[in-house]
Amino acid sequence: MRPSWTAFTQLLRCTLLGHLRNRLALVLAVAFIPVWITVARLCTSDQVVRISLDTISAPVSAPAGQVGQVASALGAVTMVAGFITFTETFLSRQLDRRLLLAGYPRLPMLTAKLAAVALTAAALALYTTILLRISLPVRHAAPLALALAGAGLAYGGIGLLLGSLVRGELEGFFLIIMLSLVDTGLQNPVFNTLMDVAGVSALPLYGVNQLALSSALTPHIPWSHGLLTLTWSAATGALALLVLHIQRPSRSPLPRKARAQTV
């Protein structure tokens, strides 16, 4: 147990330090999120709009600027979490192979990567919740933070998966951008008011979008929709770990060669 725990903490520390050394990731986390929220605030009016949420039977009236800021915050968290996780996973491929070939235990490596995704999502959610509370009157901060963390977990798992599958960084960045834009665009309640989009409930951000908008703009807290996000997060994380488990070598071939030579 002790060697496995040591291996887990060491790799988790190295992964988090890798995030801190990634200047692009830091710029995205620190600057992109508040800028995107500010752009949504400046580009939308204070006109009251009526939106429909699946968690509430009656239409909800809220300023368009507040709706846009919450939706933009979710989109920013998904992009940043996906970028950070994808970059670290993609760049650490060769290092992971060397560590495993040198006898590094597999399970601590996989769990450390998943723990890094969770810590990154939690930090982004806390930071974004503070920004939203400064920018607009949030009804319930804790459920809003949970929704943002769920968005980061879902797309962090997607970034972890893409970092193990794609061959180039540009491909991974493009896929993350397109998935995030399509997901957040279809989840926009103003857009869904004008057009009934089928299959929206199957998208990763459906649960967190309902939870975030309801928690920020209404007295209602749909906790059950947060469970949908945890399901998506668990599914993407499990699939990413399965791909990592298959692609990474299990042990070094050196002992076999040594035994063959001795025979």
Is the model's pLDDT at 190 over the cut of 80?
A: no
Residues 6+ apart with CB under 8 A from 54: 201, 210
Domain limits, the chain? 2-262
Is the model's pLDDT at 131 over the cut of 80?
A: yes
Q: What is the pLDDT of residue 257?
A: 45
Is the model's pLDDT at 119 over the cut of 90?
A: yes
Cα atoms in the Cβ-side hemisphere of radius 13 Å centred on 173: 6
Dist. CA 15–CA 201, nearest whole Å: 33
Sequence length of the chain is: 263
Average pLDDT along the chain: 82
Dist. CA 13–CA 23, nearest whole Å: 17
Taking Cα atoms as reference points, which of 151, 103, 87, 105 lies closest to residue 125? Answer: 151
pTM of the model: 0.86
CB 167 within 8 A of CB 86: no
Give 198's pLDDT tier (boundaries 50, 70, 90): low
Question: Which of 100 and 85 is assigned the larger pLDDT?
Answer: 85
CB 73 within 8 A of CB 128: yes
Taking Cα atoms as reference points, which of 46, 68, 55, 33 lies closest to residue 191? Answer: 68
